[in-house]
Amino acid sequence: MRTSLLALLAAALSAPTAELSAQDLNIPLPVDSIEYLLAYAPFELPDDLTGTRFQGDRTMRVDLRFDANTTVLTKWAPAPPGAEAFNNVPRYEVAAFRIQRLFLADDEIVVPPTVMRALPLDWYRTLEDDVDRTFRGAEAIIVVLQSFVNFVTDEGVWDEDRFDSDPAYARHWANANLLTYLIRHSDSNTGNLLISSFGSNPRVFSVDNGVAFNSIESDRGTRWRSLQVDRFPAATVERMRTLTEEQFHDALGVLAQWEVGEDEQLIRVPVTENIDSRRGVRQRDGQIQIGLTRDEIEGSWYRLEVFLGNVGNGRYQTF
């Protein structure tokens, strides 16, 4: 993420969701403030979109300009029609961000701030003319926006010897592995997990979580959907022990909600009661909800219970 720090800090102070908290150079500003900007604040775009890996890539890198002094480097991915396709499931990307916030502090998060945002279809087609509306009856397209992290690499991300000898590395990796385990991360492609270049604070980040939960697994491996380490931070475990299944459903059941306006645009509205927990994408009476299904949430809750049980019986240690 590339920003004017003073300008974005000023925006954070005025944002209704902002709560200042300690951060570092990987994510140098409060997580709530970045999430607010990506989800709600007006922005301008450059003249074109740049593929993250190559020109024309579905996932693009975009400088979102919120004002003259505030620019956030953002990963931008349009949703497919219906908001569901293999390796393009916006709700999984956002759920991965949300679930970690139940048990990790802001300066420990593994998934960078990630949101869904609805944009007018006509405007979007000035950037790409071959995109289609996400939902019938709405002249809009849903995009996933995720802030880039600074100073990271995909080299030397996992090192078993370092896990045994470096407590800071062990803490960040154990937290990351708990996240990938809870969401059933099923795409071990190189580049999906990154590590900070700062040796004194080697944070680990999971930046592509579209193949997770109940997704069909990719052909790139599923290593990180299981626990690869055998000891975990005691503070993280204690926070997990305070969680309830109801909190999981409240946090993950409805991730975003819109209503279809008279001009067939999608207007973001506060989330309401889940209108159909059997489905991840729900439409009823001009309302659109996106969230995890009951089965997906219960799967993550079950994995949490199994983990805590294994800590209790001594299979996993804490430090």
pLDDT in tens, 232-245: 999 999 999 999 99
What pLDDT, on a 0 to 100 scale, did the predictor assign at position 278? 98
What pLDDT, on a 0 to 100 scale, did the predictor assign at position 47? 67
**Domain tally for the chain?**
1
The residue among 236, 17, 207 whose CA lies nearest residue 107 is: 236
What pLDDT, on a 0 to 100 scale, did the predictor assign at position 52? 61
| Exposed/middle/buried for residue 190 (C-beta within 10 Å: 0-12, 13-18, 19+) | exposed
User: 145 — phi, psi (to 5°)?
Assistant: -115, 125
Q: Give dist(CA 242, CA 296) in Å, integer.
A: 21
What pLDDT, on a 0 to 100 scale, did the predictor assign at position 7? 41
pLDDT in tens, 240-276: 999 999 999 999 999 999 999 999 999 999 999 999 9
What pLDDT, on a 0 to 100 scale, did the predictor assign at position 53? 55
DSSP string across 215-243: PPP-SS--GGGS---SEE-HHHHHHHHT-
pTM score, two decimals?
0.90
Which positions of the chain have pLDDT values less than 70?
1-23, 47-57
Please give the residue range of the domain that contains residue 145. Answer: 5-318
What pLDDT, on a 0 to 100 scale, did the predictor assign at position 70? 80
* The two structure tokens encoding residue 312: 């209790």
Give Rg (Cα) of the chain: 19
What pLDDT, on a 0 to 100 scale, did the predictor assign at position 58? 75
> Is the CB of residue 91 less than 8 Å from the CB of residue 210?
no
What pLDDT, on a 0 to 100 scale, did the predictor assign at position 234? 98
% of the chain at pLDDT higher than 70: 89
What pLDDT, on a 0 to 100 scale, did the predictor assign at position 57? 64
Which residues are within 8 A (CB) of 313 and not within 5 positions of it... i.e. 6 or more apart? none
Which residues are within 8 A (CB) of 270 and not within 5 positions of it... i.e. 6 or more apart? 257
What pLDDT, on a 0 to 100 scale, did the predictor assign at position 45? 77
> Is the CB of residue 76 less than 8 Å from the CB of residue 143?
yes
